[in-house]
C-alpha cells in the first residue's frame, strides 16, 4: 500500500493562534470566538481521517466567524503561507512537481479536501489543504460524495491505495505506427478502494486526460528513436518500460 503524501507535522493550533495574533479587529474577535470549536474540529477531522464523509459541518460556529475564516484564508496571512510551504516541503518525491489528484500537471493552487464554503472550520487546517493543479481543483469543486454516500475523491494524505498497478493500457502496432488503444482501470477482486478510485477517475476526467498525455509521450519518444533507426517493435518495448515506470 502506498501513501503518496507524507503526513505533515504542522502545529495547526499554533498556526491558528499566530493568525489571530496579527489580525486586526473586528476579524480578530470573530476568530477568537470560535477557537475552541475549531480545535475540537481539528481533532474530529483526524479521528475520521479515513472516512471524511462522516465529518459534518460545525453548526456551533457563528456565520460571522465562518465568513471571517474564509476571508482569512483568501487574504493568505504569513502563518498560513508558512504552513503551505511546509505542506509542499513534506510532499513525497513523486509529488514535488505533480498534482496528486492527476499526476499530470504541476500544482499551482491548494484544494480544500472538505470544501471551505461548506466546512469553513477547516479552511486553515493543513491536513485539509492539498496542493493541486487548477484543473483538478476546478473539476473537484465542492463535491464530496455520490448519492450513495461514497466519497468521490481519493485523499492522498489518508487513503491507502493499492500497491499493485491498477491503471493499465494497451498499445498496438499498426503497420509502422504505435497506437494507444486503451487506458483503463483494473482491480483485484474485493479491492476495498475500487469505488473511490473509479469515482476519482470519472469526476476528474482522468482517463481522457491521461490518454492525451500518453499520446504526447509516445510521439516524443518515437521521434527520438526514429532518429537512431530503431524498429517500431524496439520502440514499443522501450515505451512499455517507460510507461510502466
Ligand atoms: Zn491535477
**How far is residue 239's CA from residue 60's CA, in Å, rounded to a whole number?**
56
pLDDT given for residue 221 in this prediction:
72
User: Between these two residues, 96 and 199, which has the higher pLDDT value?
Assistant: 199
Q: How many angstroms does the Cα of residue 136 sit away from the middle of ligand 1?
A: 4
**Rounded to an integer, what distance in angstroms lies between the CA atom of residue 157 and that of residue 50?**
9
Q: How many CA atoms lie within 13 A of 192 on its CB side?
A: 8
Which pLDDT value is given to residue 225? 76
139 C-alpha vs ligand 1 centroid, how far in Å?
Answer: 9
Residue 244, pLDDT score:
67
Tens of pLDDT, residues 59-79: 999 999 999 999 999 999 999
Cα of 241 from ligand 1 centre, angstroms:
24
Report the separation in Å between the CA atom of 121 and the middle of ligand 1, taken as the mean of its atom positions: 24
Tell me the CA–centroid distance for residue 99 and ligand 1, in Å.
4
Query: What three-state secondary structure class fits 211?
Result: helix
pLDDT digits (tens, 9 = 90+) for 141-199: 999 998 888 899 999 888 888 999 899 888 887 776 778 888 899 999 999 999 999 99
At 2, is the pLDDT very low, low, confident or very high (cuts 50, 70, 90)? very low
Q: Please report the pLDDT score of residue 90 as a whole number.
A: 85
Alpha carbon distance 143, 56 (integer Å): 14
- Spatial separation of the C-alpha atoms in residues 146 and 132, rounded to whole Å: 21
The pLDDT confidence band at residue 1, using thresholds 50, 70 and 90, is very low
Backbone angles phi, psi at 85, to 5 degrees: -60, -40
Residues 206-245 pLDDT 10s: 999 988 887 777 777 777 777 777 777 787 787 777 666 6
Question: CA torsion, points 197, 202, 203, 207, in degrees to nearest 10?
Answer: 100
189's grid cell: 477482486
Average pLDDT over residues 111-119: 96
The arithmetic mean of pLDDT across residues 104-133, rounded, is 95
- Spacing, Cα 69 to ligand 1 middle (Å): 25
d(CA 59, CA 41): 11
Instruction: Match 504542522 to its residue by C-alpha cell.
Output: 10
Which pLDDT belongs to residue 145? 92
- The pTM is what? 0.86
Tell me: the pLDDT tens digits for 3-57?
A: 556 556 799 999 999 999 999 999 999 999 999 999 999 999 999 988 999 999 9
> What is the pLDDT, as a whole number, of residue 156?
85
Q: Determine contact, residues 183/207, Cβ cutoff 8 Å.
A: yes
Residue 138 has pLDDT above 50, yes or no: yes
Amino acid at each position: 500500500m502506498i501513501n503518496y503524501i507524507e503526513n505533515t507535522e504542522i502545529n495547526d493550533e499554533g498556526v491558528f493562534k499566530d493568525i489571530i495574533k496579527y489580525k486586526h479587529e473586528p476579524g480578530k474577535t470573530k476568530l477568537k470566538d470560535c477557537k475552541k470549536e475549531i480545535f475540537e474540529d481539528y481533532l474530529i477531522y483526524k479521528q475520521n481521517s479515513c472516512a471524511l464523509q462522516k465529518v459534518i459541518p460545525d453548526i456551533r460556529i457563528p456565520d460571522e466567524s465562518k465568513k471571517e475564516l474564509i476571508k482569512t484564508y483568501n487574504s493568505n496571512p504569513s502563518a498560513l503561507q508558512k504552513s503551505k510551504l511546509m505542506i509542499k516541503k513534506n510532499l513525497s518525491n513523486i509529488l514535488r512537481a505533480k498534482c496528486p489528484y492527476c499526476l499530470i500537471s504541476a500544482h499551482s493552487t491548494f484544494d480544500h479536501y472538505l470544501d471551505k464554503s461548506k466546512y469553513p472550520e477547516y479552511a486553515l487546517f493543513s491536513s485539509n489543504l492539498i496542493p493541486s493543479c487548477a484543473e483538478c481543483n476546478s473539476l473537484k469543486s465542492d463535491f464530496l460524495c455520490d448519492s450513495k454516500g461514497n466519497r468521490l475523491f481519493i485523499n492522498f494524505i489518508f487513503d491507502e491505495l493499492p500497491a499493485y498497478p491498477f491503471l493499465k493500457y494497451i498499445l498496438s502496432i499498426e503497420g509502422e505506427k504505435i497506437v494507444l488503444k486503451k487506458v483503463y482501470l483494473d482491480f483485484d477482486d474485493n479491492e476495498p478502494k475500487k469505488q473511490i478510485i473509479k469515482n476519482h477517475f470519472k469526476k476528474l476526467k482522468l482517463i481522457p486526460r491521461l490518454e492525451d498525455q500518453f499520446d504526447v509521450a509516445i510521439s516524443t519518444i518515437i521521434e527520438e528513436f526514429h532518429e537512431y533507426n530503431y524498429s517500431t517493435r524496439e520502440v514499443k518495448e522501450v515505451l512499455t518500460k517507460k510507461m510502466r515506470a
